[in-house]
Amino acid sequence: MTQPSDDELWSAIGDPSRRRVLDLLVRDGDATASRLADGVPFSRQAVYKHLVVLEQAGLVSRRKVGREVLFRVSSARLQEASSAMAQVAHEWDERLVRIKRIAEALHTDGDAGAPPPPDA
């Protein structure tokens, strides 16, 4: 199996239902699709489909125990996602600071050439 792409990762966690399934796995640990379906407002089949997408993105893995298939979070991939999101947040913070400085400079420059306000 090849390493999942970042596009697969963002697509997988971009869906609120998949994030809910992932949150349950993070909170409760290993679980079957049936057990996860008890904690969400959709069917076991829908949960299973979401788990397959999460697995393709590298966020979960499965193992067979007897007749059951247990799913578990891949903590390494989840950490990669968290780090990537933190980097994106940091870059946006820097952009917003630059935009604020530009807006403040334009406002200050605009005030210098503006006529004084009329007296009341």
pLDDT for 1 equals 47
Task: Compute the Cα dihedral for 43, 44, 49, 52 and give only its sign.
Answer: positive
pLDDT for 81 equals 86
Among 97, 73, 79, 92, residue whose Cα is nearest residue 21: 73
pLDDT for 116 equals 63
- The pTM of this model reads 0.73
Task: Name all domains of the chain by residue range, CATH numbers in brackets.
Answer: 6-74 (1.10.10.10)
pLDDT average per 10 residues of sequence, the chain (120 residues): 74 94 95 96 96 95 96 92 89 95 86 62
Q: H/E/C letters for each residue in the chain?
A: CCCCCHHHHHHHHCCHHHHHHHHHHHHHCCECHHHHHCCCCCCHHHHHHHHHHHHHCCCEEEEEECCEEEEEECHHHHHHHHHHHHHHHHHHHHHHHHHHHHHHHHHHHHHHHCCCCCCC
